[in-house]
Every structure is written in structure tokens, then in C-alpha cells.
Amino acid sequence: MSRRPSSARAGRSSSATSARELLCELLRLFYTKNWVSGTGGGICGMGEPGKVLVAPTGVHKERVLPADLFVVDAKSGEIVSRPRNPALRLSECSPIFCEIIRSKGAGSVMHSHALSAVLAGDLAEGGDRVVFQQLEMLKGIKGATNQDKHTVAIIDNTGYEPDLLHQMRKVLADSVFAKSYCILVRDHGAYIWGADVWETKRHAEIYHFLCEGAVARAGGPSARHRHST
């Protein structure tokens, strides 16, 4: 005779299923915004306690299904469970996702390849930070006000995603960036996080707005270059 799952176990299973569905829904949304186009970008979120659901790499993100997500141990970064499709590979973002979760207590992280994030990084002209200010949308960042000068770190791109870890760890431990939920990667994109998937969604929308606003106000990097020559 088969046993029925306990209500607690059934609840956890239902919650994990809902988390998978939500992550896939957000990937589709981010695709429409050109944040994860060309198979780039990604997302993760906590499923069960201590376990992270991570989207696969090298696939069209708008077509990722709940069953395609990997389950990764948040502490060790090791794969706990793989999708049934053997062709799928774990995102190269996974070590970075886990580092942000461990360092910041995040419950979700998204990786964007948005053009606005790249252009905002150009505004630093080789520097290690960009400051967003005088924008009402700053209020959408946890703990921020529209009067703040909000500092976001910029790190240099590398040939492979995991090679960003050393720079990431330095930024995550730097008190200058303690109130930020975003790291820009020069010529690449951004990593944005929150306490849960919904906060990550909000922060993603806010930071992309801030990037677009800062670039528009500056007239774009190409315009600035013309004025300086």
C-alpha cells in the first residue's frame, strides 16, 4: 500500500514547483525586455532551504521549462539534482550566484546582458563605480531614497564567467557598496539580487531604469566622446 506524502512534504513539493514556474516566467519576461536575449543571462532562486534552482546555460532563456532547472547546494555549489535532459549544462553563473547568496543572504539573483547595463558601465570611463542620483526610481531599491547618491561597483570582464569570482568577492566585502544590490560587469552586463525572487524582479527593473536614465542624461558614451574631441 502506497503512503500519502505528509502535508509538510507536499507543501514543500508544491512550493518548489511554484518556484520553478516563477523563475521560468521571469526569464520569459526578461527576454521581452532584451535582458537575456541570444541565450545570454540567467536567473536563480531558492527552492527548498539551502537549495538553489539555477537555469541552464547556452539555451534560449525564453524557452526554459521548470523541469530544465538544476538544483545546486547553496553552500558548496555542487549539483544536487540535474534535469532529465542530459544535453543541458549548468550555467557558468552558478558559482557567482552562490557567492552572492552566501555573502549577502540573497534569495535570488539574476544576470542581465542588457545594453543599458553595458553603456552605464562605460560612463565610469574605466573607473570602478558609477553613481546614480536625482532619480525618483531610486526608491525602488531596498533602503534607498530619491535623495541618495547610490554607488554601484563596476568590475572588469573576463573570458569565462567563473573567473569573475575574485573581483566579485572584493566588491561584496567592500563597505562602499554595502547598500547596493547590483554589480556591473564592464562590456558584459550586470548581476542583480534581492531577498527573494520578487525583490530581485523589482531591483532588476529599477537598476535597468537607472542605467537607461544615466546613459540618456549623459547623451550616451558616443556623444560624450564627440564632445571631448
Q: Is position 48 annotated as part of the catalytic site?
A: no
> Do 141 and 206 contact (CB within 8 A), yes or no?
yes
Instruction: Please give the C-alpha separations between residue 127 and each of 17, 153, 178, 184, in angstroms, as whole numbers.
Output: 42, 9, 18, 12
Handedness of CA 189, 193, 197, 198 (dihedral sign): negative
The span from the CA of 191 to the CA of 111, in Å, is 5
- Of the candidates 21, 99, 136, 199, the residue annotated as catalytic is 136
User: Reading across the β-sheet that carries 70-73, which strands appear in turn?
Assistant: 79-81, 70-73, 51-54, 42-46, 108-112, 189-194, 182-185, 149-155, 129-133
User: Contact at 8 Å (CB) between 45 and 53?
Assistant: yes
Q: How far is the C-alpha of 135 from the C-alpha of 137, rounded, in Å?
A: 5
For the stretch 163-189, what's the b/e string if a residue is b when 16 or more beta carbons lie within 10 angstroms of its beta carbon? ebeebbeebbeeeebeebbbbbbbebb
The DSSP bridge pattern shows strands 129-133 and 108-112 to be: unpaired
The set of cell numbers assigned to 224 is 560624450
Cα separation, 213 vs 147, whole angstroms: 16
Active site residues: 136
